[in-house]
Structure 1
Amino acid sequence: MLYSKYEWRIHPAESSITDRLAQDLSLSPIVASLMASRGIQSAEDGHRFLHGTFELTHDPYLMQGMQEAVPRIRKALEDREHILIYGDYDADGVSSTSLMIHLMRHLGASYDIYIPHRSNEGYGLHNHALDWAHQQGVSLVITVDTGISAVEQIAYANSLGIDVIVTDHHEPPETLPEAYALINPKLPTCPYPFKGLAGVGVAYKLAQALVGEPPEEWLQIVSIGTIADLMPLTGENRVLVKHGIESMRNTRYEGIRCLLEVSGVHVEQVTAVNVAFSMAPRINASGRLDHAGRAVTLLTTEHREEAERLAWELDGLNKERQQVVETIVEEALGMVQTRWGGREIPPVIVLAGEGWNVGVVGIVASKILERFYRPVVILGIDPDTGNCKGSARSIPGFDIYAALHSCRDVMDHFGGHHSAAGMSLQRDRLEEFERGLHVYAEEALDAEHLIAVCDADLEASMSEISVPVLEQIEQLGPFGMANAVPKIVFRDVVIKDVRKIGKEGKHLKLRIQQKRDVMDAISFGWGHLADILPVGTVVDVLGELSVNEWNGSRKVQLMVQDIRASYQQVFDYRGIQEPLKEIQRWRADLEPHLRCPAARSAVVYAKDSHPEIKTQLYD
């Protein structure tokens, strides 16, 4: 029996709503059901969802602080003051900074930019950077994607005679900085209707307030930061990103075009998914392993040659980043085994290692979370100073920002969202920090929170799926957070062909059949399952649909997210010289699919086989 990695929860829509949407909007039943599952209940709502434009966005002056910020910036422009744009090193910060560069150029401003180095300086506004700005004659600092927690630093800027306008979207602390203006939709007193803007989205609202109707191509930059920072693609974000992606398909930005080409994406066919999995990692790699300024230059250069060079450099950094992540993940998994072995893993996993690159600890945290389905904190320790910098990733139902807030006295600094956060603290407080998170988690986490769940939109038969239906599904995009790529379950499909593909056979390619319908399917990273899914195996699969284009032919393809076989499987290892070693490898590969201790897969062995085999399988 091959268990699914996740518990599948299917959320079918009401048939009456589905039927009405299908008829009124001329949609297939599948697409109408997907719309209904996204909360759309009327043809009017459906038309707005499919075709909504800028009437669904909001007046930037509804945002608190805008009335103060705009006149101050206009005065700086009139008086030729030197302005500093202060950003962050992640993809949202890079996008925000890049957008402000386009704005400053448009306004003819005298400006400079500053992005701190992730490893050498860390997140946020820094006094030494303000000293440098003061020496350069800066009298106005505009922060993007940062600053809402910089109480002491902004007080220092004020003492230097520098005004600070903060644009940010992170959770505001209890004590706010005394800036010239604070622009953040999450401020408790801010009446702005949409709270889910990325840092680049807030910067764009400032640009709107200053120039009225910004060039549409600026939305390309907004799209990158919004998608990369995992902001919900609903409401205003959906409109901004949708128009940004459409503009990107005809981009005049040399950096965006080159980055897409290096990523293997056809520019005219780019989607939000391409931005998330191809562009964003390469942009983030700049700030993780080098300095984010390289990515900013890429997004703002007007020269093709420079754009090509920088795009290839970011691609190389991303490959290096992948190797660094793989090494740290292996070390982190070893720590889990050493610390807890066969014992129960705690509700929050906290791991710290000397020399771990702090630029990638967030990615490592995500991978450890995926393995154990627990909130995870990964920290890199500076062996010389004892300073620890880390990132946290959380599961649905557990607010990691609130958890960190409960331990605020232990840390030097922290910030973030309910699902992801960053922090710094001293090495000698790690144990206290870990205990505090465990205490908070014991109260906040229930057993049901620790069940790995995959939400599926609907169950369908393969006969209902076709290329025209997929083309209608694509109209529901852009896909991302809060508007996920539809996940569909197909039951009782027969494996007609199975093989490993890719480097070292890491990926799985299947050909599956249901009655007379046949479909190709691919699962990345699950090549090991080819050993236990012989031709003829009947399985249930959960996945995302896509169109595979080859030599002018377009066919439906399933990107498998999970798979299960609902009957006992028997494997014969007689004749293998080292059966115990083989079975240990087998179990290590299949651990996520053996989550039910009551019904492990069986093995046939002869009388003189190793007794340890039985222990290994049924312990």
Structure 2
Amino acid sequence: MIKSKYNWKCQQPDRQKAEELAGQMNISVILASLLINRGMADAEFAEKFMRGGSGELHDPFLLSGMQEAVPRILHAIAAGERILIYGDYDADGVSSTSLMIRLMRHLGADFDYYIPHRSKEGYGLHNHALDLAREKGTSLIITVDTGISAVSQIAYANELGMDVIVTDHHEPPSELPQAYALINPKLSHCPYPFKGLAGVGVAYKLASALIGEVPEEWLQLVALGTIADLMPLMDENRVLVSRGLKSMDKEALIGAAALLRIAGGSDKGVNSTTIGFSMAPRINASGRLSHASRAVSLLTTEDLDEADEIASELDLLNRERQQMVEDIVQQAVSRLEAASSEGKQIPSVIVIAGEGWNVGVVGIVASKILERYYRPTIILAVNPETGECKGSARSIPGFDMYEALTGCADLMHHYGGHTAAAGMSLHKDNLAAFEERLNEYAAQVLEPEHFVPVLSADLECSLNEITIPLIQELELLSPFGMENSCPRLLIRGAELVETRTMGREGNHLKLTLRQNGAVVEAVAFGKGVLGTFITEGARVDLVVEASINEWNGSVKPQLMIQDLSVSHLQVFDFRSCPSPFKIMDDFATKLRQLPSGQTARTAVVCRQSSAERYRPDLVDSLLWVYDEEAGLHESGMRPGLAVDDLSQITSLFILELPEYSAQLDSVLTSIPNLERIILVHGQQDRYERVEIPSRDSFKTVYAWIRHYSDKELTEEQMLNQLVRQTGFTKRMMRLTLEVFEELEFIIRDNGRLRLNPSPSKQPLETSARYLQLGALAEMEQVMLRGKAVQVAEWMRSRTAAVS
């Protein structure tokens, strides 16, 4: 058994409506079902959605503030005024700044740009930067992806005689800055019909208002910033990103092409995944570990050599960033686990601060901690000299991070962001109160169900339905991203054919699955540890995204696993291994590496007669012995462990087989939450084997007993003669004689064995010993000589029978 990480929810399409829509649009029923599930049951609307990049864009002058901003900018350019573009250091801010630089160049403006240093200055406008701009003769500032919360800073700019035009997309605060113009679709009084633009999207609308037809290649920057900032790929964003990706696929900007090359990709076949996982992390690495100006230079250069040089720099920074993130994550996890081991619960809102942590990566760390514990998380870097804390927050559905921070505004120097992500700064002396207040807020808004992550699947299908034509058809829904995710398909009961790990450290998992005649490979990144715990022949349930794998001329479907589970008991076969205790130690170590939420309590079971011999080798393990009447009997238990703790055991090592099959049934009954059984018992000596009894074999034994009954033989001599004549083992013969004795066919008298002269006529099936012998023979035949798959099926059938 392997538990899923998420609680799966799968939509149930209306089959009749799907078939009708499929007929109207000449598409598959699966694609039609997806469209209906996503609110596109109307054929005309669905067709328009799938055309993507051919959709119409909204009038930029519908944005409030645009009517004031455009003439002011055109006047500044005509009058030769000095203009400053003030951006942000993330990928959206870099993209916005780069687009505005291209716009200013296009208009022939006298301009400069400024992006604050993430760790030295932090987010937003800063008075010292405004002072510097004024000294250089700046009279107009245009912000991109920032500024909506800069009330005091913009007031200061006004005092210095500079006008400020704010273009932003972040949540507006209750008090707005007194800027020359505020352009933000989220302003309550703004009539713009789409509120989901990225910062670069707002910058693009300003460019559209200023010059009309914007060069198509600039949309590559819009696609980059929109995808990187996790904006919804719906409405206007879908159009902008679709066109941007097509432009990049046709002829990427020089800097974008260099970035794609260094990331090991191609500038052909670029999609939202390429941007999200290859380009955006490297752009962000510039602002996280160095200065975002290097990324701006990359996206605005026309020099091939310069582009290659900067792309290499960003790639190295990204690798450094990855290691830094891993180190901080380990430190944060260690703190949380240490607190948990002391009996403290993981708080509803996790707040962790560390001295020396790089402020540029705390947002990524927060995302990884949230993913592990599924709690709203804030990670802060503490300046040891000043005590200043700068942090990033990530949240879960149901917890509005921006609203929660607003309730702590008096404890912070600055904050801003969205419902799901935010940034803030405060002094370390306020950390305790900050954490307490956030958790008080959480207690008011979060219920237990909020702490269970949910993974939504679009529909359920089988492996044979996931074909190359279907995957190509599903691409009509792209580009994929926020609010238009890549279709997730739920597959139940696929048979595992083969398991392999991938990557230098075996961090990734590749499964070969079979169902309804189709054999498909499936890949799970970061789930390599699960490979040890999925057995051949297991029935696997998966939520996947489908893609096409092209390699050496071969084209075939490939599944990208989002989550998986095995809902049945699994059996792992290490029978007759030379070092069973080493196998047990290694397996138990791997169990402890299972992801959070996967239980891994282990126990070992053996016969009572062997317990004393095994106990020294099992100091750190729970040792139990078979007990036919009581189920299991504890042996050498650690202090404080109660019999009730059997319910916590999920993994059982069978070190020895029981003497009777009923004892094995008792084990299965006594451990209700058993997920896996690990067989480490040895092979039985062939002289001890028992056979499934038959009527003829019993008749033969009875006949030989009659033959020897007039001989003066002891019971042991009689036993030896019977073994020689029948071919039974001594153990089998003894068990057979116990059946005869129970049925009163024989009498044991003073060490001798004789036939009962007047036996009652009883069928063999009435003997409990006879039934016990049959069950024992079946158990040993399977458990000792059956193949691993047969053992697993038999054990699962036994579990079902006794549950």
TM range, smaller chain: over 0.9
Matches for 1:171-250 after TM superposition, within 5 Å: 171-250=171-250
| CA shift digits 1:503-549 (9 cap, x unpaired) | 11111111110131100111111111111112222211111111000
What's 2:594 paired with?
Answer: 590
What's 2:537 paired with?
Answer: 536
Q: Find the aligned partners of 2:356 and 2:601 in 1 and give their Cα distance.
A: 40
Q: 1:69 offset after TM fit, Å?
A: 0.3
| Worse-matched range after superposition: 483-492 or 580-589 | 580-589
Q: Kindly tell me: are residues 593 and 509 of structure 1, through their superposed partners in 2, closer, same or farther at Cα, counting changes over 3 Å?
A: farther
Q: Find the aligned partners of 1:308 and 1:14 in 2 and give their Cα distance.
A: 52
Matches for 1:60-71 after TM superposition, within 5 Å: 60-71=60-71
AA aligned opposite 1:358: V
Q: Kindly tell me: are residues 536 and 602 of structure 1, through their superposed partners in 2, closer, same or farther at Cα, counting changes over 3 Å?
A: farther
What's 1:28 paired with?
Answer: 28
Q: Find the aligned partners of 1:236 and 1:533 in 2 and give their Cα distance.
A: 44
SS of match in other structure, 1:434: helix
TM-score by length of 1: 0.97
What's 2:293 paired with?
Answer: 293
What's 1:255 paired with?
Answer: 255
| CA shift digits 1:387-415 (9 cap, x unpaired) | 00000001112111111111111111100
Matched, 1:265 2:265: yes
AA aligned opposite 1:556: P
Q: Kindly tell me: are residues 252 and 556 of structure 1, through their superposed partners in 2, closer, same or farther at Cα, counting changes over 3 Å?
A: closer
Identity %: 56
What's 2:38 paired with?
Answer: 38
Q: 1:594 offset after TM fit, Å?
A: 2.1
8 Å contact kept, 2:48–2:55 = no
Matched, 1:613 2:595: no
Q: Find the aligned partners of 1:300 and 1:246 in 2 and give their Cα distance.
A: 19
Q: 1:490 offset after TM fit, Å?
A: 1.1
AA aligned opposite 1:493: A
Q: Find the aligned partners of 2:585 and 2:179 in 1 and give their Cα distance.
A: 63
Q: 1:338 offset after TM fit, Å?
A: 2.1
Q: Kindly tell me: are residues 394 and 344 of structure 1, through their superposed partners in 2, closer, same or farther at Cα, counting changes over 3 Å?
A: same
Q: Find the aligned partners of 1:331 and 1:219 in 2 and give their Cα distance.
A: 40
Q: Find the aligned partners of 1:605 and 1:277 in 2 and give their Cα distance.
A: 48
What's 1:373 paired with?
Answer: 374
8 Å contact kept, 2:375–2:396 = yes
Q: 1:245 offset after TM fit, Å?
A: 0.5
What's 1:404 paired with?
Answer: 405
Matched, 1:321 2:325: no
Q: Find the aligned partners of 2:348 and 2:16 in 1 and give their Cα distance.
A: 42
Q: Find the aligned partners of 2:41 and 2:254 in 1 and give their Cα distance.
A: 42
AA aligned opposite 2:542: V
Q: 1:17 offset after TM fit, Å?
A: 2.8
Q: 1:308 offset after TM fit, Å?
A: 0.7
What's 2:394 paired with?
Answer: 393
| CA shift digits 1:169-228 (9 cap, x unpaired) | 001111111100000011111111100000000000000000011011111000000000
Q: Find the aligned partners of 1:437 and 1:285 in 2 and give their Cα distance.
A: 30
8 Å contact kept, 1:223–1:240 = yes
| Worse-matched range after superposition: 86-95 or 465-474 | 465-474
8 Å contact kept, 1:572–1:603 = no
8 Å contact kept, 1:63–1:183 = yes
8 Å contact kept, 1:329–1:367 = yes
Matches for 1:503-518 after TM superposition, within 5 Å: 503-518=504-519
SS of match in other structure, 2:117: coil
SS of match in other structure, 2:23: helix
SS of match in other structure, 1:567: coil
Q: Find the aligned partners of 1:559 and 1:179 in 2 and give their Cα distance.
A: 48
SS of match in other structure, 1:47: helix
AA aligned opposite 1:398: F
Q: Kindly tell me: are residues 216 and 28 of structure 1, through their superposed partners in 2, closer, same or farther at Cα, counting changes over 3 Å?
A: same
Q: Kindly tell me: are residues 551 and 165 of structure 1, through their superposed partners in 2, closer, same or farther at Cα, counting changes over 3 Å?
A: same
Q: Find the aligned partners of 1:56 and 1:17 in 2 and give their Cα distance.
A: 28
Q: 1:19 offset after TM fit, Å?
A: 1.5
What's 1:442 paired with?
Answer: 443
SS of match in other structure, 1:176: coil
When the two chains are superposed, the root-mean-square deviation of aligned CA atoms in Å is 1.7
8 Å contact kept, 1:568–1:601 = no
What's 1:521 paired with?
Answer: 522
Q: Find the aligned partners of 2:503 and 2:605 in 1 and give their Cα distance.
A: 33
| Residue ranges of structure 1 left out of the alignment (5+ in a row) | none
Q: 1:53 offset after TM fit, Å?
A: 4.6
Q: 1:33 offset after TM fit, Å?
A: 1.2
Q: Find the aligned partners of 2:55 and 2:456 in 1 and give their Cα distance.
A: 31
What's 1:281 paired with?
Answer: 281
Q: Find the aligned partners of 2:163 and 2:582 in 1 and give their Cα distance.
A: 71
Matches for 1:419-568 after TM superposition, within 5 Å: 419-568=420-569
| CA shift digits 1:453-497 (9 cap, x unpaired) | 111111101111111111111110000000011111111111111
Q: Kindly tell me: are residues 406 and 582 of structure 1, through their superposed partners in 2, closer, same or farther at Cα, counting changes over 3 Å?
A: farther
Q: Kindly tell me: are residues 52 and 363 of structure 1, through their superposed partners in 2, closer, same or farther at Cα, counting changes over 3 Å?
A: closer
Q: 1:571 offset after TM fit, Å?
A: 4.5
Q: Find the aligned partners of 1:486 and 1:52 in 2 and give their Cα distance.
A: 16
Matched, 1:130 2:138: no
8 Å contact kept, 2:538–2:570 = no
| Worse-matched range after superposition: 569-578 or 405-414 | 569-578
| Worse-matched range after superposition: 54-63 or 580-589 | 580-589
SS of match in other structure, 2:291: coil
8 Å contact kept, 2:87–2:144 = yes
What's 2:143 paired with?
Answer: 143
| CA shift digits 1:207-252 (9 cap, x unpaired) | 0000011011111000000000000000110110011101110124
| Residue ranges of structure 2 left out of the alignment (5+ in a row) | 623-640, 650-803
Q: Kindly tell me: are residues 53 and 448 of structure 1, through their superposed partners in 2, closer, same or farther at Cα, counting changes over 3 Å?
A: same
8 Å contact kept, 1:571–1:604 = no
Q: Find the aligned partners of 2:280 and 2:189 in 1 and give their Cα distance.
A: 32
Q: Find the aligned partners of 1:485 and 1:70 in 2 and give their Cα distance.
A: 38
What's 2:778 paired with?
Answer: none
Q: Find the aligned partners of 1:489 and 1:235 in 2 and give their Cα distance.
A: 27
Q: Find the aligned partners of 1:52 and 1:521 in 2 and give their Cα distance.
A: 29
SS of match in other structure, 2:20: helix
| Worse-matched range after superposition: 567-576 or 243-252 | 567-576
AA aligned opposite 1:380: A
What's 1:364 paired with?
Answer: 365
Q: Find the aligned partners of 1:261 and 1:301 in 2 and give their Cα distance.
A: 16
Q: Find the aligned partners of 1:587 and 1:393 in 2 and give their Cα distance.
A: 29
8 Å contact kept, 2:339–2:345 = no
Count of aligned pairs: 615
Q: 1:587 offset after TM fit, Å?
A: 3.3
Q: 1:562 offset after TM fit, Å?
A: 1.1
Q: Kindly tell me: are residues 343 and 563 of structure 1, through their superposed partners in 2, closer, same or farther at Cα, counting changes over 3 Å?
A: same
8 Å contact kept, 2:95–2:222 = yes
Specify the structure having the higher radius of gyration (Cα). Answer: 2
